Chains A and B, each alone.
Chain A
Amino acid sequence: MTNWLNENILWLIPAAPLLACLWIVLVGQVIGRKYAHRPLVLGLAVSLAASLYLLTVVVPHGFGHDEHESSHSVMTTVYQWIKIGTIDVPVTLRADAMSALMLTMVTSVSLLVAIFASSYMKGDPGYPRFFAAMSLFVFSMCMLVLAGNFLLLFVFWEAVGLCSYLLIGFWFHKPSAAAAAKKAFVVNRIGDFGLILGIFLIWQTFGTLDFAALFESPKLIDGILAGQPDILHWICILLFIGAVGKSAQFPLQVWLPDAMEGPTPVSALIHAATMVTAGVYLVARCTPFFVHAPYVQMTVAGIGAATALIAAITALTQYDLKRVLAYSTVSQLGYMFMSLGAAGGGEGLALHAVTFAMFHMFTHAFFKAVLFLSAGSVMHAMGDVIDMRRFSGLRKALPITHWTFLAGALALAGVPLLSGFWSKDEILAVLAAASREGEHAGFYGIILAIALLTSLMTAFYTFRAYFMTFWGEEKFPEEAGHHPHDAPPAMAVPLAILAVAALGIGLMTGPTHLYGHYLHHTPGLPHADEFPIDWLMMGISSILAAVGIGTAYQLYVVSPKIVENLQRRLSLAYQASQNGLYIDWFGYKFIAAPLRGLAAICEFVDRWVIDALVDCVGFIPGLFGSIIRPIQNGMVQNYAAVMMLGLVVCLISVLRVLVETH
């Protein structure tokens, strides 16, 4: 039994949601439309159980074991997809410590979100469609994490993008939703272009796309480095472009806030907890490449910092609750990239940089999910109104939602002992370490400063949203009816679980090094010493969180007049923040508009040059065809004559060959 499980556990994880998807699509559309969520919940429960089991399979020594010996990765070739000559594309699933942790996170958050959605989406005409797309998403995400080679990773990288498109545009009759879906897809395409180029380059350089071959043997990389020292820089920069698209980093972050047009559970699952972290996962997965490309790592940190700052500034003034959270997601993803980039600060930092980025991703998944779902619950109660100016003081009307949102907000703000505190603090610490030594100390000093500033703003805008929504005088929009109702049990339970996780999971796995030590078992990660606890950064970040929350309280609860004054005084800055520093506008004006012109030219060329050529190509064979068709004139004797002629020609040529060869 154990052997069987060990061998088959890998494909079971993606197979369960896939089966759920097939069931909903084939059967669920007709029978039991109201219960379309059940297969998904069941499938996800199976996947979660399998993922938890996988955790023990991948690292058999157990969690607390603190040795840097890389455990083996579990591999299974599900299926030989293509094998023509030297081209060999197997569908290989591969799990190591990193993917096992990621899978646990994905499946657990998905399960909770699915339960939440079963109540949230109730009564929607597209109920089965929603759950089918969601199952497909979880399947694709699991496959993305489990992919054993770059090609498979790319396939499911695209697949999650497709699911994201389907789910953002779930209410496709809403023009804004359709436009947002399209925008997300198109912007992601730019990143995907980089990724596929990177994959081509890897194939060209290494001759294989297999993770095991690439990452588990340093000799291969060393050999390449000896011959082509620069090639890894190019590979890394291209892979990072892919990550920038998927994880909504500057300058491609524009799609994520718009993606909030989708149903809220989708925002929570795909656009906060799981899919958008795929970019972080990709960069972390490719650490063995990135450690040889310090300048790319600095770029990663720089882009991360820029994104974090811009998104935080934008989040300060948004009125749409979900958009605040979306910008916050972008900002937190920026944090993760800053952490990944810190690996460029010195030899010994790489392992910790990756660990802390992955850890922040882990905690972020929980507290951001609870924030989004709470926002969803608010929306649910307010009759789909999400503008914070139209409601306030919901503390009493929605007690459960209030507490869960508060838990998420505290964690995000980085209040000591909660999840966000541990992970964010570690990122600050590793940045601080990078800024203390090495040749790029100055650069990382700036990054650290931005990170601290962002941290302050995070605390502020999170609690701005919290106070605007839940404090102040009680006010409901007319869409909500007279007595808005709090979350029903199917929504409340996942909220509560996620809230508890947001509060406690950091404490449970952070300072105990449970997460970090487990992750160190990933094959291919560089080895390093224990990372010391940075008390200074802990102190600073605690103070920043307190200041941020206090300011928000002062401005939005005690004396809201100040805000109006500030808005008037700093209207220019206010407008800039409100409009996301006009990045979208820049994008439209200076990228989309010229592209449109180019497209018009292309259309002209296509229509009048290429089409004409194609028509010509199509015309010529037709011409030849009509020349040879009279041969087939229906006359038996004529056919026979041609056949005889053919035979004679064959005979003569055969005889000639015979004579020549003599």
Chain B
Amino acid sequence: MGDVGLNAYLMVGAVLFVCGVVCMATKRNGIGVLMGVELVLNGANVNFVAFSRYTSLGLDGQTIALFVIVLAAAEAAVALAIALNFYNNHLTIDVDRGNELQG
């Protein structure tokens, strides 16, 4: 299998990141926003792993990626719990329905 080089991986990472950001900014559904966050985190993870393969970052990159996966899981769990709580109170998870707090 031929080596595609660092830039290709970084491109994938960047695409994931942009998709994630766009998703976060445009989705009304709370779960959708959280999915956008996951995309961003994984975009970063691709970067880490790629850098660890091609640069002097070494094993550090891999380890960071592992930690990030764990943290992302924890964050997702809490976020989903909060979304559920929101649903219980508002009977929707459209984030723009929560507009009582303003001004």
A and B touch in the complex (CB under 8 A): yes
Contacts of A636 in B (CB 8 A): 33, 95-96, 98
Q: Is A634 an interface position by the 8 A CB rule?
A: yes
The residue on A at minimum CB distance from B102 is A634
* B102:A633 contact, CB within 8 angstroms: yes
Q: Is B90 an interface position by the 8 A CB rule?
A: no
Interface residues of B in 8-54 (CB under 8 A from A): 24-26, 28, 33
Q: Is B99 an interface position by the 8 A CB rule?
A: yes
Residue in B25, B28, B99 whose CB lies within 8 Å of A634: B99
* A640:B24 contact, CB within 8 angstroms: yes
Whole-angstrom CA separation of A391 from B69 in the bound complex:
100
Type the 1/0 row for A631-644, where 1 means its CB is closer than 8 Å to any CB of B. Answer: 01111110011001
Residue in A632, A633, A635, A640 whose CB lies within 8 Å of B25: A640
* A635:B99 contact, CB within 8 angstroms: yes
Contacts of A641 in B (CB 8 A): 25
* B103:A637 contact, CB within 8 angstroms: no
* A634:B101 contact, CB within 8 angstroms: yes
* A634:B95 contact, CB within 8 angstroms: no
The residue on A at minimum CB distance from B101 is A634
Type the 1/0 row for B84-97, where 1 means its CB is closer than 8 Å to any CB of A. Answer: 00000000000110
Whole-angstrom CA separation of A644 from B25 in the bound complex:
9
Q: Is A629 an interface position by the 8 A CB rule?
A: yes
The residue on B at minimum CB distance from A633 is B102
* B24:A634 contact, CB within 8 angstroms: no
* B28:A637 contact, CB within 8 angstroms: yes
Number of interface residues of A (CB under 8 A): 10
Residue in A632, A640, A644 whose CB lies within 8 Å of B103: A632
The residue on A at minimum CB distance from B28 is A637
Whole-angstrom CA separation of A637 from B33 in the bound complex:
10
Interface residues of chain A: helix, strand, loop or mixed (majority): helix
Contacts of B95 in A (CB 8 A): 636-637
Contacts of A640 in B (CB 8 A): 24-25
Contacts of A632 in B (CB 8 A): 102-103
Contacts of A629 in B (CB 8 A): 103
Q: Is B100 an interface position by the 8 A CB rule?
A: yes
Contacts of A635 in B (CB 8 A): 96, 99, 102
Whole-angstrom CA separation of A636 from B99 in the bound complex:
8
Whole-angstrom CA separation of A491 from B88 in the bound complex:
81
Contacts of A634 in B (CB 8 A): 98-103
The residue on B at minimum CB distance from A637 is B96
Tell me how far the C-beta of A645 lies from the nearest C-beta in chain B, rounded to whole angstroms: 11
Contacts of B103 in A (CB 8 A): 629, 632-634
Interface residues of A in 175-224 (CB under 8 A from B): none
Tell me how far the C-beta of A646 lies from the nearest C-beta in chain B, rounded to whole angstroms: 13
Between A629, A636, A644, the greatest number of chain B beta carbons within 10 A of the residue's beta carbon is seen for: A636
The residue on A at minimum CB distance from B33 is A636
Tell me how far the C-beta of B17 lies from the nearest C-beta in chain A, rounded to whole angstroms: 13
Contacts of B100 in A (CB 8 A): 634
Interface residues of A in 613-662 (CB under 8 A from B): 629, 632-637, 640-641, 644
Whole-angstrom CA separation of A629 from B101 in the bound complex:
12
Contacts of B102 in A (CB 8 A): 632-635
The residue on B at minimum CB distance from A647 is B21
Tell me how far the C-beta of A230 lies from the nearest C-beta in chain B, rounded to whole angstroms: 63
Contacts of A637 in B (CB 8 A): 25-26, 28, 95-96
Tell me how far the C-beta of B90 lies from the nearest C-beta in chain A, rounded to whole angstroms: 13
Type the 1/0 row for A265-287, where 1 means its CB is closer than 8 Å to any CB of B. Answer: 00000000000000000000000
Tell me how far the C-beta of B35 lies from the nearest C-beta in chain A, rounded to whole angstroms: 15
Interface residues of B in 50-97 (CB under 8 A from A): 95-96
Tell me how far the C-beta of A222 lies from the nearest C-beta in chain B, rounded to whole angstroms: 68
Tell me how far the C-beta of A637 lies from the nearest C-beta in chain B, rounded to whole angstroms: 6
The residue on A at minimum CB distance from B95 is A636
Whole-angstrom CA separation of A644 from B21 in the bound complex:
10
Whole-angstrom CA separation of A183 from B28 in the bound complex:
72
Tell me how far the C-beta of B64 lies from the nearest C-beta in chain A, rounded to whole angstroms: 24
Interface residues of A in 114-149 (CB under 8 A from B): none
Whole-angstrom CA separation of A640 from B98 in the bound complex:
14
Whole-angstrom CA separation of A644 from B18 in the bound complex:
12
Tell me how far the C-beta of B56 lies from the nearest C-beta in chain A, rounded to whole angstroms: 25
Tell me how far the C-beta of A629 lies from the nearest C-beta in chain B, rounded to whole angstroms: 5
Type the 1/0 row for A85-97, where 1 means its CB is closer than 8 Å to any CB of B. Answer: 0000000000000
27 inter-chain pairs at a CB distance below 8 angstroms, sorted by A residue, are A629-B103, A632-B102, A632-B103, A633-B99, A633-B102, A633-B103, A634-B98, A634-B99, A634-B100, A634-B101, A634-B102, A634-B103, A635-B96, A635-B99, A635-B102, A636-B33, A636-B95, A636-B96, A636-B98, A637-B25, A637-B26, A637-B28, A637-B95, A637-B96, A640-B24, A640-B25, A641-B25
Given contacts A629-B103, A640-B25, 14 further A-B contacts (CB under 8 A): A633-B99, A633-B103, A634-B99, A634-B103, A635-B96, A635-B99, A636-B33, A636-B95, A636-B98, A637-B25, A637-B26, A637-B95, A640-B24, A644-B25
